[in-house]
């Protein structure tokens, strides 16, 4: 299932989020990857950056697989692409198995021709007192590229997007957040036990996400149906 919200849609579709139900995650992922590729190429023709907001987790994996395939087999270039990841556990070292830096490198970044200077992922290694400054800087960087053209989202069992757990304000900004106990339980297997899951994360806020020019929220399978 995908929800699509675009600034360029007419008023009616702004009020009613378009929902598409697909037969399976694979079919939907291929369509979403095609949409991303079309945007990348359109922006390239305009000699412009294509700014993508990206999630991690199981949901986007097949979208990334298809983008990598398009790069390797169809010559899709990511030279004009700038990426901003939604979130990272805090604290977290980038080389760790569970780090979102590692996840993104494995599934997308190391497999396409993205320029290293165009990749942005919240830094889980900085001292806690430096986090607010880091978050302000992260938002400034997004602004310097003219905002996010397309934000991809998954959704957690708590209903979180990014790591904006229930209670997050609609205008919330990039910040350090405490993870919900359900999110910690869901991450336990990745960390070989609940006690090893970081209790906090750095996440872009709901306010940041809603500023994106277009959003695609993906939710696959029965486990996500209720939320």
- Residue 98 beta carbon to ligand F6R: minimum distance, rounded to whole angstroms: 12
Contacts of residue 185, defined as CB under 8 A and 6 or more positions apart, other chains included, come to 194
Q: Indicate the residue among 162 and 205 with the shorter CB distance to ligand F6R.
A: 162
Give the HSE-up count for residue 13: Cα atoms under 13 Å, Cβ half-sphere: 11
| Residue 148: closest CA among 67, 214, 77 | 214
59 binding ligand F6R? (CB under 6 A): yes
- Residue 189 beta carbon to ligand F6R: minimum distance, rounded to whole angstroms: 11
Q: How far apart are CA 23 and CA 174, in angstroms?
A: 35
Restricting to residues 144-173, which ones interact with ligand F6R according to CB under 6 A? 154-156, 160-162
To which residue do tokens 């990598």 refer?
68
SS3 label, residue 151? strand
Binding ligand F6R (rule: CB under 6 A), the pick from 50, 52, 86, 92 is: 86
Active-site residue (options: 165, 194, 211, 222): 165
Q: How far apart are CA 59 and CA 185, in angstroms?
A: 18
Binding ligand F6R (rule: CB under 6 A), the pick from 56, 80, 151, 208 is: 56
- Judge whether 165 counts as a catalytic residue: yes
Residues with active-site annotation = 165
Binding site for ligand F6R (CB under 6 A): 55-59, 86-87, 154-156, 160-162
């Amino acid at each position: 299932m995908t929800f699509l919200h675009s600034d360029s849609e007419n008023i009616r579709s702004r009020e009613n989020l378009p929902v598409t139900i697909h037969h399976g995650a694979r079919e939907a992922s291929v369509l979403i990857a095609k949409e991303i590729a079309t945007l990348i190429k359109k922006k390239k023709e305009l000699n412009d950056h294509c700014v993508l907001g990206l999630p991690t987790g199981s949901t986007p994996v097949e979208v990334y697989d298809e983008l990598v395939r398009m790069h390797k087999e169809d010559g899709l270039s990511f030279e004009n692409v700038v990426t901003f990841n939604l979130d990272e556990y805090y604290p977290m070292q980038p080389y760790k198995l569970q780090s979102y830096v590692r996840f993104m490198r494995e599934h997308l970044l190391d497999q396409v021709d993205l320029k290293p200077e165009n990749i942005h992922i919240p830094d889980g290694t900085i001292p806690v007192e430096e986090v607010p400054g880091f978050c302000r800087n992260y938002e400034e960087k997004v602004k310097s590229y003219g905002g996010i053209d397309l934000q991809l989202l998954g959704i957690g069992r708590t209903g979180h997007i990014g790591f904006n757990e229930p209670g997050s304000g609609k205008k919330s900004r990039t910040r350090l957040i405490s993870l919900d106990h359900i999110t910690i339980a869901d991450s336990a297997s990745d960390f070989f036990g609940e006690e090893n899951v970081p209790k906090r994360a750095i996440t872009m806020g709901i306010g940041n996400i809603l500023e994106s020019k277009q959003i695609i929220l993906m939710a696959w399978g029965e486990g996500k149906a209720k939320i």
